[in-house]
A and B are shown apart, each in its own frame.
Chain A
Amino acid sequence: EAQVTQNPRYLITVTGKKLTVTCSQNMNHEYMSWYRQDPGLGLRQIYYSMNVEVTDKGDVPEGYKVSRKEKRNFPLILESPSPNQTSLYFCASSLSMAKRGGNTEAFFGQGTRLTVV
């Protein structure tokens, strides 16, 4: 089954304790991205990756890091989480924009609800 898998689904942590949220897709997609969703602010893109070893900032990258060492995985790293990073996080994947005629439909994971206290 084609899917995007995020782990964990729920996480409560303390300020300053480094954490990683994993994201994996099994559709051989080049394009992967992370979003956060906050009430009244909607979904905002944090980082995206066009392919392995190619990452770029979205609209709200401060306080986050990503890496793309393999095509299927795109972890989100919070080196020193703060309470303002409490949010619902989504990972998504699709074919890259570079391919003409391809179906670039984005598929989303089920979300990770992060609470930083």
Chain B
Amino acid sequence: KQEVTQIPAALSVPEGENLVLNCSFTDSAIYNLQWFRQDPGKGLTSLLLIQSSQREQTSGRLNASLDKSSGRSTLYIAASQPGDSATYLCAVRRNTGGFKTIFGAGTRLFVKA
């Protein structure tokens, strides 16, 4: 059974710092991995999608990497800003035994001005 874990559960950093959020999964048979941002009481905003054949994706200050063999993905945020404060979620879509999507519990990020 696929399990997705995100570490750390919460993170507080000063503005301007570069930071890394981690996502690990137990079954490497994935179709894609997607990173989302969620603000309190709001919906999910897609940040980056990595297909299983890709190693990384970049968008602005964000870079996501994928290592299927080790079951890991990282989301790198450069020069963090207070507006980056939110919960970051990773989601893995399986490609065997059905096409379920499994979410991690998220990392709650607070960037201090």
Residues of A within 8 A of B (CB): 31, 33, 35, 42-45, 48, 50, 56, 58-59, 90, 92, 97, 103-111
Contacts and interface: CB of A to CB of B under 8 A. Distances in A.
A97 B51 CA distance: 10
A45 B46 contact: no
Contacts of A110: 42-43
A42 B43 contact: no
B71 interface: no
Contact of A43 (B31, B45, B89): B89
Residues of A contacting B: mostly: strand
Contacts of A50: 99
Contacts of A33: 101
Interface of B: 31-32, 34, 36, 42-46, 49, 51, 89, 91, 93, 95, 98-106
Pick the most buried of A59, A97, A106: most chain B CB atoms within 10 A of its CB.
Answer: A106
Nearest 7 Cβ contacts at the A-B interface: A43-B103, A108-B44, A42-B105, A105-B49, A110-B43, A108-B43, A111-B43
A97 B94 CA distance: 9
A59 B42 contact: no
User: Chain B: interface secondary structure?
Assistant: strand
Contacts of B51: 104
Contacts, number: 58
B100 A106 contact: no
A88 B85 CA distance: 21
B103 to A, nearest CB: 4
B54 to A, nearest CB: 11
B95 A97 contact: yes
A109 to B, nearest CB: 6
A105 B46 contact: yes
A48 B103 contact: no
A106 B44 CA distance: 10
A58 B2 CA distance: 12
Nearest to B48: A105
Which of B34, B43, B49, B93 is the most central at the interface, judged by chain A CB atoms within 10 Å of its CB?
B43
Given A97-B93, A104-B49, A106-B91, A44 B103 contact: yes
